[in-house]
Structure 1
């Protein structure tokens, strides 16, 4: 995996950032992380019309669908589960991984016992999806109250209000020509 160039046009993806809730220092990198080191996955989910699926929780958070890997779960299974739970969507086709955040934990032990530690990766992939219903909203997850399919730049602006990192991930995928 390669570190992103400091001249990167996406300011939220440049340099190291400390994420309080994860107690980790993260750094955006290009390429595909080793499967066994991925603990989180977020998806730039595209509809047939080429729109990007974004979500809003009952707390007002705006985000790309995705989340934390469960024990023994493959990355495809993780993508399918998170798409159903958060976006009411089904995966259509393959995942196309393109980048990740390299996460170095400051915790004494991993967040979950089966996670690699102290370094893991929070991967990003493009996925073609079909909206099939309402989000499942399991009791242990966010309560999603809105799912939108927006053109690329509108999706990035929607996300930017709460999550400039995910906004710039969408734009990075777009510039790389992955959103077709």
Structure 2
């Protein structure tokens, strides 16, 4: 798999978070998962979101204290995409990260090791993004064809097209 997706599996430095990250298809321990993001499919299209600060992204975000992965996914889909799960949540991989910051991002999170979980699922759009005051302010939700999603998301992370390809493959 690494041969087919060299950008996804390459070691990365996420300067904005003080993180060194490596993608793997090995499951992280649940207690290490701090963030969950979803490649949500509506038919053959992928849900992508845009905010004014960071551009295009897959819906998802930070787990709250005591929140399960499923609860985080449900909350983030509603907040950022106005969507809900319409099928099984499929885990496709994780970025295993090590922080060089002196403290965790939030007090309840593991430190210095953590994991960002990437999933795929069938979803349905049921309304507008919730846009809570303490979250991203989503200005557009788009159902993008796979190639368009790869282009939009690839503008901010060169490995994102590989992740989308992996999500498509997870559908069988």
**Does TM-score exceed 0.5, indicating one fold?**
yes
Which runs of 4 or more aligned residues in structure 1 lie more than 3 Å from their structure 2 counterparts after TM superposition? none
- Superposition pairs for residues 40-51 of structure 1, below 5 Å? 40-47=35-42, 49-51=43-45
TM-score, scaled relative to structure 2: 0.93
Aligned with residue 37 of structure 1, among 24, 32, 39: 32
TM-score, scaled relative to structure 1: 0.89
Contact 2:92 2:166 in 1 (8 A): no
* Partner SS for 1:21: helix
In structure 1, distance between residues paired with 2:128 and 2:6: 34
In structure 2, distance between residues paired with 1:142 and 1:159: 16
In structure 2, distance between residues paired with 1:28 and 1:109: 23
Contact 1:33 1:121 in 2 (8 A): yes
Contact 2:8 2:160 in 1 (8 A): no
Residue 139 (structure 1) aligns with: 133
* Partner SS for 1:153: helix
Aligned with residue 98 of structure 2, among 82, 104, 107: 104
Residue 17 (structure 2) aligns with: 22
Q: How many residues align?
A: 172
Q: Which runs of 5+ in 1 are unaligned?
A: none
Cα offset for 1:85? Answer: 0.6
Q: Which runs of 5+ in 2 are unaligned?
A: none
Contact 1:31 1:97 in 2 (8 A): no
* Partner SS for 2:151: helix
Distance 1:134 1:12, change over 3 A: same
Q: 142-151 or 164-173, which moves further after superposition?
A: 164-173
Distance 1:25 1:155, change over 3 A: same
- Superposition pairs for residues 109-128 of structure 1, below 5 Å? 109-128=103-122
**Is residue 158 of structure 1 aligned with residue 152 of structure 2?**
yes
* Partner SS for 1:93: coil
In structure 2, distance between residues paired with 1:63 and 1:110: 23
Cα RMSD after superposing both structures? 1.5
